[in-house]
Amino acid sequence: MKVKTDIRLGDCREVLKTLPDNVVDLIFTSPPYTDQRKNTYGGIHPDKYVEWFLPVSTELLRVLKPTGTFVLNIKEKVVEGERSTYVLELILEMKKQGWLWTEEFIWYKKNCYPGKWPNRFRDSWERLLQFNKGKKFNMYQEEVMVPMGDWAKSRLKKLSDTDKKRDESKVGSGFGKNISNWLNRDRVYPTNVLCLATECNNKNHSAAFPEGLPEWFLKLFTQSGDTVLDPFMGSGTTNFVAQRMNRNSIGIEILPEYYNMVKAELEPVKLVLFE
Amino acid sequence: MKVKTDIRLGDCREVLKTLPDNVVDLIFTSPPYTDQRKNTYGGIHPDKYVEWFLPVSTELLRVLKPTGTFVLNIKEKVVEGERSTYVLELILEMKKQGWLWTEEFIWYKKNCYPGKWPNRFRDSWERLLQFNKGKKFNMYQEEVMVPMGDWAKSRLKKLSDTDKKRDESKVGSGFGKNISNWLNRDRVYPTNVLCLATECNNKNHSAAFPEGLPEWFLKLFTQSGDTVLDPFMGSGTTNFVAQRMNRNSIGIEILPEYYNMVKAELEPVKLVLFE
DNA sequence: GTTCCGCATGAATCGATAG
DNA sequence: ACTATCGATTCATGCGGAA
């Protein structure tokens, strides 16, 4: 099977307008947080964040299929000792746009940033907000079942690695079906808390989230041949995972630097496929 | 040391008015969720929840000391396939009342109820919203330090290995004081995610939360002799924990049934103290 | 080829210092 | 007074080199 990975350079508020209606099965993205990545993106002020994001979510609502899902990875910053409220306000405003706020998953980061302060502890979780266009959407729950029992708990850390290896062996060997059937016996449905470590130092560039994160949602909300969109592509994690999992994907990135890097890494893969 | 446990029967909106200003060090409570406990506070409709709660939080703001903390355990319900937004709205409204929204802790319930729905997984987390009156509040971080590694599990193997090594060297050298050094160094500050199993009901009534939950926040935000308040007492978990930890406490409950039960369980303790 | 130790490094936050 | 920059704090992870 051949999948298309469509990488585009530009501001997603403009580029999204060139996409047709109802073509995307899953949007998975992590937009720049407020005043974060100041040197790369503009560094949006907390007070302006909702206003800045709403034009994007309007377009996302348009390009998403009625059965599709939008997963938004975000976390509010601390400003003067207080949590900002722009994420809460964003949810309320997106509902006014027509989005349904179906669920809030928690990404529990075991290795969060260190530090000690007199008035708070380290922040070790982020939000994964699930939005939908309607009450009926595609969800393939069996794809993300996890091993159960104490055995699984003690090996919680290796979970994502195991999943990765399983995928690789599935693609490589062709015995995927048998393997997954056999594994299904001891497996149980997961909850809405995801336990994943951040990847600090994998390559020469650091991704905002580990591959396991988009991987999980791609399994859950898409099938082979479906189309995935990341309007804030960054280092392209979502798109690389999509390609590996045989999903078409679209990635939009405003910075030429990131765009070129992702472009360069995608080419070799294509070459291998054509050989 | 003798602590006072003050249990009152009535609607907290009325009873709270009888308390003086600035007398409470910590408020820890889990209010009735919407359409929960229908016969008590009337089963508040999601649309009316904020409106219903705001008079309570006004009084709470008044009775709390300037250095005190309010921890609100809450989780929004699913209504017609969508998460309700009353918690988000409540945070925004409480800020208008003068509360600071300092932090949001996550209670990660590892053994939540089994279950499966076509469009969502089990809900295994709840919010623990921290509100304060000012930027300076009491926090005793050392009281809740945890063993190095994960909250409870996963690192056990490595810890025990280290433990063995330390034990051997300790026996060999005879330097006992190294132990305390090592203990201090191997205890780290926790994060804002609390991993606690729900309690499987050791009595004839089920508590909304396990004792470990108020215990953690009592350690963190109060000292011996301080005063704790739970305006929605229920089965009295907060107050029992407070008494055990030598904190004064006030509990308010609208249902005579719960009130009498807690009252009955508190009496024997007093008797023991007087003997 | 395993296992183990040492080291760099994060979507952080606070408080002090500087313009 | 108000904003901008910088140093200090701190721990899970994965990598490279060593035993």
pLDDT digits (tens, 9 = 90+) for A60-99: 999 999 999 999 999 999 999 999 999 999 999 999 999 9
| Contact by Cβ (8 Å): B123, B75 | yes
pLDDT at A114 over 70: yes
Q: Exposed, middle or buried: residue B268 (CB in 10 Å: 0-12, 13-18, 19+)?
A: exposed
Q: Which token pair is B135?
A: 């930027």
Q: Exposed, middle or buried: residue A33 (CB in 10 Å: 0-12, 13-18, 19+)?
A: buried
Bigger pLDDT: B182 or B175?
B182
- Reference B229, options B247, B208, B244; nearest CA is B247
Any residues with CB less than 8 A from the CB of B267 and at least 6 apart, and which? none
pLDDT at A123 over 50: yes
Q: Which percentage of chain A shows pLDDT scores above 70?
A: 78
A140 interfacial to chain B (CB closer than 8 Å): no
Nearest nucleotide over every DNA/RNA strand to the A73 CA, judged by C1': C11
- Reference A209, options A26, A74, A64, A13; nearest CA is A74
The reply to whether A84 Cβ lies less than 7 angstroms from strand C is no
pLDDT-wise least confident of A111-125, A175-189, B157-171 = B157-171
Q: Which positions of strand D lie within 7 Å of protein CB atoms?
A: 8-15
Residue B160 has phi, psi (to 5 degrees) of: -65, -35
Q: Give residue A38's pLDDT.
A: 52
Nearest nucleotide over every DNA/RNA strand to the A110 CA, judged by C1': D12
B196 interfacial to chain A (CB closer than 8 Å): no
- Burial string for B177-202 (b: 16+ CB within 10 Å, else e) reads eeeeeeeeebeebbbbbbbbebbeee
The reply to whether A123 Cβ lies less than 7 angstroms from strand C is yes
Any residues with CB less than 8 A from the CB of B142 and at least 6 apart, and which? none
Mean of the pLDDT values across residues A202-220?
84
A91 interfacial to chain B (CB closer than 8 Å): yes
Q: Which percentage of chain B shows pLDDT scores above 70?
A: 78
Which of the residues A77, A110, A119, A138 would you substitute to probe the B interface, choosing the one with the greatest number of B C-beta atoms within 10 Å? Answer: A119
Nearest CB to A135; choose among B81, B106, B193: B81
- Chain A residues touching B80 at Cβ < 8 A: 135
- What's the CA–C1' distance between A124 and D11, in Å? 12
CA distance A175 to A17: 42
Report pLDDT digits (tens) over B66-119.
999 999 999 999 999 999 999 999 999 999 999 999 999 999 998 777 778 999
* Yes or no, beta carbons of A193 and B95 under 8 Å apart: no
pLDDT at A227 over 80: yes
- Chain B residues touching A70 at Cβ < 8 A: none
Report pLDDT digits (tens) over A181-199.
444 457 889 999 999 988 7
- What's the CA–C1' distance between A116 and C17, in Å? 20
Q: Give residue B42's pLDDT.
A: 63
Nearest nucleotide over every DNA/RNA strand to the A208 CA, judged by C1': C11
Bigger pLDDT: B197 or A157?
B197
Query: How close B152 comes to chain A (CA, Å)?
Result: 11
- What's the CA–C1' distance between A118 and C17, in Å? 20
Question: What is the residue extent of each domain of chain B?
Answer: 5-145+189-265, 147-188
Which of B94-98, B156-160, B179-183 has the largest mean confidence?
B94-98
At the top level of CATH, which class does the domain A5-145+189-265 belong to? alpha beta
Nearest CB to B92; choose among A88, A103, A141: A88
**3-state DSSP call for residue B196?**
coil
| Contact by Cβ (8 Å): B219, B244 | no
Tell me which amino acid residue B38 is: K
Q: Give residue A181's pLDDT.
A: 40
A159 interfacial to chain B (CB closer than 8 Å): no
- What's the CA–C1' distance between A113 and D11, in Å? 8
The reply to whether A111 Cβ lies less than 7 angstroms from strand C is yes
Q: Look up residue A122 and give its DSSP letter.
A: B
pLDDT-wise least confident of A94-103, A126-135, B91-100, B142-151 = B142-151
**3-state DSSP call for residue A231?**
coil
Residue A234 has phi, psi (to 5 degrees) of: 60, -125
